Amino acid sequence: MLNEFVYCARLYYYEHVIGEFEDNADTVEGRYRHRRVDQETGTPPSPEALDIPESEDGAQKTLVSTSVWLEAPHLGATCKIDRLEIRDGLAVPVDYKRGKKPDVPGGAWEPEQVQVALQALVLRENGYKCEHAEMWYAESRERVRIPLTDELVERTQRFLAGARAAYRSEEIPPPLEDSPKCPRCSLVGICLPDETRFLKAFRVSDAALSKKPRRLVPEKPDAGPLYVQQQGMSLGKSGDVIEAREKGKVVSRTRLLDVSQVAVYGNVSVSTPLVRELCDRGISISYLTYGGWFVGMARGGEHKNVGLRIRQHRWAEDSARSLELAREFVRGKILNSRTMLRRNHAEAPEAVLLELKRLAASTSRSKDLGSLLGTEGAAAKVYFRSFPGMLKSELPEFDFQGRNRRPPRDPINALLSFAYSLLTRELTVITASVGFDPYRGFFHQSKYGKPALALDLMEEFRPLIADSVVLQVVNNGEIQANDFVHRAGACALLPNARRKFIEAYERRMTTSVTHPVFDYSASYRRILEIQARLLGRLLQGEIERYPAFRTR
């Protein structure tokens, strides 16, 4: 890990202090190149027994061991040596790299030089004679000799002390500035270097800053959710594939590589080997009732970023800070509701648009969460009063007379409730994966089983994602009046209609949108993660305010 500290102290902190890691093509290929030396072979002789036998031609044999773990208590370091060669009584650590030998002085970058120098120092403390180390570049098939000079030893010890201090610190090292290292870093979507620096310099009074952040994260995640709602279905694992079985017959196969999360509705069984594999890969399994109510979630070990959760709970206990955050959530929701009406209403009433604008502005004057809740409720009434103007269907079944729930009593409310449940589950998974406690919020107050933080972050996206999907499926005729069941005053979607709605929801989540602050495009699913991570930056003191997502 020392080479990562030398390369980028922030990368080291995220990976080894907070416990964040994400694969990319480079890390996967690196593991593949390492597959041989990662297997333990051979046993290095003790330093006292280095009388290596000679070969038939009189030359001493080279003794080779791979994946050798050594500790150096005095130095305070532990290392794994890819390949340890004993030649002529000297120990030579050899480190494997997947790429080509770089055209730099010494034939190796500084992080790699420091890494092998540390291995050499660990060998010395264990009694071995070590005068140099070597690098092996797999792509160019070249070896580079790294002499263990006094200057390199001093640098290595200095970096080791710095890494140890960073490990004990609660402060995340600052991001690199406009660095060429960032685009190919596997943690760039977690680190958000340009976004963090941009927001650190951002002031509310600034109309715009001259240099917008680079879009370093992929526009869309490679993997997506797997939804299973067919009752009686069972999920199992076969190799690296999830198999869905119905009445013992395989009906679908999905590569684990393509799955970011699993959501099962009602009576669906998941095998223990699959649960274990998903947990090992950090893929969450959400359990919901047949009707879509969130029941619980299974995932790997709790996120290691306990410092973030401590700060989250401290902020939640601070009424002034909670109110500051809640204002941003509610203001974002109201302004996005106004945008929805302006874009989709046949003739958006000017009075309604002005009232929503006034209510959004009034959030900054709310003195407590109670008054802010009143403002949010008033804005919701104004918005939903005009909601029918965005519906193109003239069918009486889709007549919308206002919001009702628990249970919804008409098709539009049934669709809205189902959409909100999908979005709540999504943000519960995201907030947990970032390191938050999804059940401790700032605007929504904590109650048993209520994912308050997920509901907080969801506010600004209710109109843009959930309401938008409802309008789409109704106005495009994807959902018809006969797609609902009415019973005892309640209305619910039939299974086939629910499948169609989930497909529409996923289309919306993969739709690209321009981030209003950073001015780059990303899918809504990526935006949700970015917003959650920006909230974490605020709580950890890296930025001064949370920038609610407000579409133009």
Numbered residues of the known binding site: 376, 444, 459
Whole-angstrom distance, CA of residue 349 vs CA of residue 352:
5
HSE-CB for 27 with a 13 A CA cutoff: 8
Whole-angstrom distance, CA of residue 441 vs CA of residue 450:
9
Residues whose CB falls within 8 Å of the CB of residue 150, separated by 6 or more in sequence, listed in order: none
Whole-angstrom distance, CA of residue 313 vs CA of residue 317:
6
Q: How many other C-beta atoms are found inside a 10 Å radius of the C-beta of residue 410?
A: 19
Which phi and psi angles does 152 have, rounded to 5°?
A: -70, -40
Which phi and psi angles does 391 have, rounded to 5°?
A: -95, 130
Alpha-carbon radius of gyration of the chain: 28
In order of 115, 143, 155, 479, 511, the CA distances from 110 in angstroms are 9, 16, 10, 60, 42
Whole-angstrom distance, CA of residue 20 vs CA of residue 533:
12
Collect contacts of 330-333 with beta carbons under 8 A, ≥24 apart.
330/363, 330/372, 330/375, 330/376, 330/379, 330/443, 330/459, 331/360, 331/363, 331/364, 331/548, 332/459, 332/460, 332/548, 332/549, 332/550, 333/376, 333/379, 333/459, 333/460, 333/462, 333/463
Enumerate the known binding-site residues for Mn(2+).
376, 444, 459
Collect contacts of 175-179 with beta carbons under 8 A, ≥24 apart.
175/10, 176/8, 176/10, 178/214, 179/8
Whole-angstrom distance, CA of residue 259 vs CA of residue 242:
9
Q: Show the tokens assigned to 168.
A: 């004990």
C-beta separation of 112 from 95 below 8 A: yes
Looking at residue 271, the DSSP 8-state letter turns out to be -
Q: Maximum CA pair distance of the chain? A: 98
Q: What is the DSSP string of 317-384?
A: H-HHHHHHHHHHHHHHHHHHHHHHHHHH-TT--HHHHHHHHHHHHHGGG--SHHHHHHHHHHHHHHHH
Beta strand segments in 73-211, E: 77-87, 90-97, 132-137, 142-147
> What's the full length of the chain, in residues?
552
Beta strand segments in 132-268, E: 132-137, 142-147, 224-228, 234-238, 241-246, 249-255, 259-265
